[in-house]
Amino acid sequence: MATTHDPAAPARLPESEQDTLVRAGGNSGGTVSRVPVTVKEEYLLLDAATGLPAPQADQVRGAAGLEPIAEEAEIRAELTQDQIEVATPECVDLDEVGGHLLRLRHALGRAAESRGCRLAASATPPLKEEDPPPVTNLPRYHAVRATSTQLASEQLVCGMQVDVSVPDPEVAVAVLNRIRLWLPVVVAVAANSPFWAGRNTGFASWRTVVSGRWPVSGPSPYFDGLADHEQRVQQLLSCGVITDLGQIYWQARLSSRGTTVEVRCPDVQLRADEAVMITGIVRALVATAIMDGGAPVQPCPPELLQAMNWNAALHGLGGSLVDPGGRLRSAGDVLSQLMDRITPALLEAGDSREVAALMHRLLQEGTAADRQRRAFADGDMRAVTDMIIAETTAD
């Protein structure tokens, strides 16, 4: 059986993993905060005339592959034909991340226009027909539709994933334990899905709610080291509810090789530079976790973490958030806590000025969810889709 964790006591890593973290942070030569990252984004395809999701992914991927600035491996299929995914190469500088995302958004935007649709970086479709979208013609996706019909039909949501390199699997598990309490703040900052099928959901990130309905999803659990992680993942596979590691949808998880921490909780970002900000925050959280060494892990009962995440999805930055200590505070105060925690890592990476400037703009303009709602208040749902389309490829 997996080792249980007492949430009332400060969690400590096994001594071997404490040593591993200390080595990773202390012997990094000042580079632990500038490790390579890869960013993945999922987009919607919307019909140019109606604003409804357009099942043109195969055609758009084909057209984009003809672009001299986009490689075939950078553009990927998604569950439905109304969605498309991109993946940047490994990047060290945040400017690289922004450049690649703009390059890929522009290539896909032109390809989409050639097929009579538009690229939209919204985590949910503002408008949607009742009929389920067609799935991509791959065995994996047909199996998902066959076994989880209603969930698959409502999985028209788009996220952003930041993959951060770490030294080894032991460090990766320790990082998961340390960043999990901060990911609800990332959910709030990244909120970009207030509407669903023509209705205001009342949530800033409805995608977070939809994505959390799969059997292995939501905030990741606390692990008592790498062996505990491996045993519990194997139990999930052995019971037959999931069939492969790709169906572990925790908001942060290990890559199959264990040398990458994949943070999957953000909504896709409306603007490319907002994705750059999220990337800088996530990398700094991972670096901070490594530099913390063997210090005790702050305890948190799983039900409290789930509530923190749900509350962040509901309010975004428009209300109160629960901080990692379990206290309900203003969103601004919790955001200040986050920035205080990661500023040393941002400074070491040379990302502080860029992330701080983008964060300042965020506090002035609100999240993408706030801007979607303002567009609706000033017009209608089509005004929302027009705004999303314009912002997706804006420089």
- 163: number of CA atoms within 13 Å, CB side? 16
Report yes or no on 80 lying in a domain: no
Q: Which residues on neighbouring strands pair with residue 254, listed in sequence order?
A: 261
d(C-alpha 226, C-alpha 21), whole Å? 13
Given CA atoms 363, 45, 147, 244 in this order, what sign does their dihedral have? negative
Report yes or no on 76 lying in a domain: no
Provide the pLDDT for residue 68.
Answer: 62
Provide the pLDDT for residue 147.
Answer: 85
- Residue 192 is encoded by which pair of tokens? 């970009």
d(C-alpha 265, C-alpha 362), whole Å? 18
Provide the pLDDT for residue 67.
Answer: 60
The answer to whether residues 174 and 168 touch, using CB atoms and an 8 Å cutoff, is no
CATH number of the domain at 178, please: 3.30.590.20
d(C-alpha 20, C-alpha 270), whole Å? 38
Report yes or no on 52 lying in a domain: no
d(C-alpha 202, C-alpha 331), whole Å? 17
What's the helix, strand, coil split of the chain in %, to 5?
A: 50, 15, 35
Provide the pLDDT for residue 70.
Answer: 62
Q: Whose CA is closest to 164, among 34, 10, 331?
A: 34
Can you tell me whether residue 40 is helix, strand or coil? strand
Amino acid occupying residue 288 = T
Q: How many residues does the chain have?
A: 395
Report yes or no on 301 lying in a domain: yes
Query: What average pLDDT values come out for the chain (395 residues) when binned by 10 residues?
Result: 36 43 43 91 97 95 72 83 96 97 96 96 94 84 85 91 96 96 98 97 98 96 96 95 92 92 98 98 97 84 97 97 96 97 97 97 97 97 97 93
Provide the pLDDT for residue 135.
Answer: 87
d(C-alpha 320, C-alpha 332), whole Å? 8
Provide the pLDDT for residue 150.
Answer: 86
d(C-alpha 308, C-alpha 95), whole Å? 32
The number of distinct structural domains making up the chain is 1
Report yes or no on 2 lying in a domain: no
Q: Whose CA is closest to 299, among 181, 176, 186?
A: 181
233 CB-near residues (< 8 Å, 6+ apart): 245, 248
Report yes or no on 310 lying in a domain: yes
123 CB-near residues (< 8 Å, 6+ apart): 157, 158, 159, 192, 193, 205, 206, 207, 267, 268
**What range does the domain containing 209 cover?**
15-41+159-392
Report yes or no on 201 lying in a domain: yes
Report yes or no on 98 lying in a domain: no
Other CB atoms within 10 Å distance of the CB of residue 316: 27
Mind giving me the DSSP string for 298-345? PP--HHHHHHHHHHHHHHTTSSEEE-TTS-EEEHHHHHHHHHHHHHHH
